[in-house]
Amino acid sequence: MKRILYFDNWDKGYRNFLRLDSRFKERGYDTLLVHTSSWIRNDVEKEKTLQGLKFRDVSYYRTNRIKKIIKKEAPSAIVILNLSFILDRALVKICKDLGINLYYLAHGKLITRESQVVVKDNMKKFGKSKLYSKVKMKNIYSLYNYFIEMKSLSKFFGFFIKASKNYTQFTAFPRYSEELEVQKSMMYYPIDRDIMIDEYGFPPDNVIVVGNPELDDFFHTKIKDKNEFCAQDLGLEKQNYIAYIDDGLSSMRNWDTNKWLQFLKDINDVLKKHEMQMVIKLHPRRELDDACISFFKDESIAYFKDLDFKNYIYHSHFVFSHFSSVIVYALLLDKNVKSPRWGLSVGIEENFPHDVIDYYYNKEDFENNLYNLAINKPAIQDYLLEAIGTSFDGKCIDRIVDEVLTGL
C-alpha cells in the first residue's frame, strides 16, 4: 500500500497535516497520523477520524517503541513538524535503518536571530523548560527510543553532557548533526531558510522554501460583507472589534493561565472604555478551563478556536499580538498591528521590525494610539518580500506534496 505517515507528539497540530491530506490522496496515497498524546495525558482516544484524516495514538499499537510502529505501517514517506527533540532524533535513525524518506515541515515562522537571545535567556531564567526538570512520561519514553535506536552508551551519555551545557539545542534551537539529517527540511519563508543554514548549521542543499500552506486558503478566501461576517460568523452586535491573536505563551516565558488572564484584563479595560470588543483567535495549544470561560463571559470577550481568519483580520479595527507568526497575514492585508511590551509583557522578544508593527512600552501610549492605524507600507512590502518571497501564490501545498512524492 502506498502510504504517507504523519508523525507528531500530540494530536492538536493535525491541521498542519490536514491541509496536505487531500492532495496526497488525490495522488493515490493512503494517509495516517500517528501521535504520542498518551505520553502526555490520559484522556486520549486510541483511534479516531477527523475530517477524513485517520489518527492513531501509540497506545493503539500496545508498544512504546516507535520503530515497531513504523515497521507495522510501512509508509512510503514520513512527514514531521519538529526536528530537534530527542524523539525526532530517534525517528531520524529509524528512517535511515528502514530506508524510509523523512521530511521535516516547519509549522510556523522561526524565531529571528535577534529574538533568539531573549528566548534562550527566558528559557534559562524560568527553569520549568529545563530538560532535567521535565521528568515526565513523554521524556522517559523519548529517551528509551533514543537509547534503543542509537545502541551506543557513548552517544546516550554524550546527549546528557551536551544537554547540561546547552539544553536549548534539544528544544527550540538545534545544532545540525547526523542525528538531524532528513531527506529535506521544508521552510515557510526565505528568512527561515537563512536561520536554518546560518544559525543552526544545516547544509544549504538540504533546506528548501516551499511557502506557508496556510496561506493557500488565505489566498483563495473571498472577502465577505462586514455586517454579515460580524453578525453570522462572530456573533457580534457591534462591528468595532480588535483581533487578538493568542501567541500561546507558555511557562517558558513564565506565563501561566492566571498571568494570561491578568494580561487580557489589562488590555480589555482599555478597549471597553472606548467601546471596542476583543475577539480572540485561540492558539491551537490553548486549553480553556472553567476560570477562563467564566472570565470571557464576565469581560464580554468573544473567542474562537477556528474561524474565517482572512475576514477576521480584514474587518478588525486593528490586530493585536505579541509575536505570533500569523501577524504576517495582517501585514498582507495592510492592517495596523499593535504589540504590548508593558506590564507582564516586558522582556518578551520582538520578532518583527519596529517599522513593520507598532510596539507599546506603556499602557498610556497604547490607549492614545487606539485610533492611529497608520502603517509604513514601503517597509512592510520590503519585509514581506524578504520574509515570504513569492510564496503568496496559492501553490504552497502543491510544492510540499510534489517535494515528498518526487523523492519516492
Residue-wise DSSP of 239-255: --EEEEE-----GGGT-
pLDDT of 191 reads 87
Taking residues 368-389, report their average pLDDT.
92
Which CATH number does 216-388 carry? 3.40.50.2000
Cα 286 from Cα 305, distance rounded (Å): 9
Taking residues 256-261, report their average pLDDT.
91
pLDDT in tens, 71-83: 999 999 999 999 9
The answer to whether the Cα torsion of 7, 13, 14, 15 is positive or negative is negative
Percent of the chain with pLDDT over 90: 70
Quickly list H helices, 221-289.
Answer: 226-228, 257-273
pLDDT of 215 reads 86
Alpha-carbon torsion angle 115, 121, 125, 130, nearest 10:
90
**Matching fold, domains 3-212+393-406 and 216-388:** yes
pLDDT of 116 reads 58
Q: Return the minimum-mean-pLDDT range out of 124-128, 136-140, 348-352, 388-392.
A: 124-128
Per-residue b/e over 88-107, b at no fewer than 16 CB within 10 Å?
Answer: bbbbbbbbeeeebbbbbbbb
Residues forming beta bridges with residue 6, ordered by sequence position = 33, 79
pLDDT of 373 reads 98
Q: Output the nine-digit C-alpha cell for 10.
A: 500530540
Cα 334 from Cα 96, distance rounded (Å): 45
Q: Is the pLDDT of residue 370 over 90?
A: yes
Contact 76, 407 (CB under 8 A): no
Higher pLDDT, 109 or 314: 314
Q: Is the pLDDT of residue 131 over 50?
A: no
pLDDT of 168 reads 61
Domain boundaries, the chain: 3-212+393-406, 216-388
Higher pLDDT, 93 or 116: 93
pLDDT of 248 reads 81
Contact 396, 212 (CB under 8 A): yes
Contact 73, 41 (CB under 8 A): no
Cα 77 from Cα 5, distance rounded (Å): 6
pLDDT of 109 reads 75
pLDDT of 4 reads 99
Contact 353, 327 (CB under 8 A): no
Q: Output the nine-digit C-alpha cell for 292.
A: 477562563
Per-residue b/e over 331-350, b at no fewer than 16 CB within 10 Å?
Answer: bbeebbbbbbbeebbeebbb
Of how many residues is the chain composed?
A: 408
Contact 337, 318 (CB under 8 A): yes
Mean per-residue pLDDT over the chain, rounded: 90
Higher pLDDT, 335 or 118: 335
CATH superfamily of this structure's domain 3-212+393-406: Glycogen Phosphorylase B; (3.40.50.2000)
pLDDT of 314 reads 98
Q: Is the pLDDT of residue 127 over 80?
A: no
pLDDT of 113 reads 64
Q: Which amino acid is at 193?
A: R
Alpha-carbon torsion angle 376, 267, 234, 296, nearest 10:
160
Q: Return the minimum-mean-pLDDT range out of 144-148, 200-204, 263-267.
A: 144-148
pLDDT of 304 reads 97
Q: Is the pLDDT of residue 254 over 80?
A: no
